[in-house]
Amino acid sequence: MATENNDQEISAGGGQLPPPPDPQAPVPPPPPSPEAELRGRLERAEAWIEALYRMYNESAESAQLRGEKGASKDDLKNTERKIFDLSSSVDGLKRTFAREGELAARLEAAESSLAGLKTSLEGQQGQAKVSLESLATKDELDALRVSASGNAAALDEMKKRFAQFSEEFSGVERECRKALGEAQGYAKAAAQNPVAAQFEEYLKESVSRLSAKLGEVETALHAGVAEMSGRMTASEVLYKKMFAAAEENLKKSVEPQLKDLEGQLRWLRENLMRLSDDYTVVTERKIRALEAKTSAFEAMARRMDAIDAAMKKGGRIGLP
């Protein structure tokens, strides 16, 4: 890796040699040997692997303690990212030091431990997914998300109401401070002047104000009564005119109809009298006809009785 960096620096410099060092400048420390640098990097990689093992063990213990809660997705992603970085570093070390015996063996050991860590991490991810699916389904999570959004909206509404309440409370606080200032002013005035003098002065002011208001009320009452009497008089005259006009209009509109109705009643009375006379004459005539028929029926009955008696005696039936 160091040789590659040096080649890149020479190529970036356009193939020119660097300037000679200053003889008065302090001599820099000798660069570390490539083997020491590589050993340090390998030791750091092994330390990372051990740290990952510790994190894995801690996550496994925390997963066992949490039970069905499972591991967090962010923790899994961070672990995967670290494993990916570590695998990249190990691959680079493998490509660089494949020919070194001891370093290659240590690299293989680190790679095998990394593979075991990957396998255990995949198992942990599967367990986390299963535990997450057993904890809540997608519909439940959607419902929980909707409920959380509703709770957030309710929280915003509560914040608005709290702000409004704080404003109202500030107004009440100002009123209370104002009332407290007035009370303190009254207390100072009471301390300066005796209570009896203040009460007498207050009574005088109250009586003067009440007398002025009573005079105003009396004046307004007289004015109102006078105005009401004037309105009542005007209304009485107006109502008299209205009733007189209505009565005259009623007479004018109803009188022809009454006269017509009176003539019709007279004609009806005359017709009833004539009809009653005709009915009397007809009834008398019918009664006379019925009497004649009745006498004829009686004569016929007597004749039938005589015929019956004669037939019973065996005699002749003579004419009457």
191-200, 296-305, 306-315: least confidently modelled range: 191-200
Burial 248-258 (b: 16+ CB within 10 A, else e): eeeeeeeeeee
Q: Under a CB-based contact definition with an 8 Å cutoff, are residues 44 and 106 in contact?
A: no
| pLDDT higher at 23 or 294 | 294
**pLDDT higher than threshold 70 for residue 301:** yes
At 2, is the pLDDT very low, low, confident or very high (cuts 50, 70, 90)? Answer: very low
pLDDT at 5: 46
pLDDT at 283: 92
- Which tens digit of pLDDT belongs to each residue from 57-73? 666 566 555 544 544 56
At 291, is the pLDDT very low, low, confident or very high (cuts 50, 70, 90)? Answer: very high
**pLDDT higher than threshold 60 for residue 138:** yes
**pLDDT higher than threshold 80 for residue 10:** no
Place of tokens 């005696």: 313
Q: Under a CB-based contact definition with an 8 Å cutoff, are residues 44 and 90 in contact?
A: no
| DSSP codes, 216-263 | HHHHHHHHHHHHHHHHHHHHHHHHHHHHHHHHHHHHHHHHHHHHHHHH
Quickly name the fold that domain 2-7+34-135 has.
Methane Monooxygenase Hydroxylase; Chain G, domain 1 (1.20.58)
Please list the alpha-helical segments (H only) found in 18-33: none
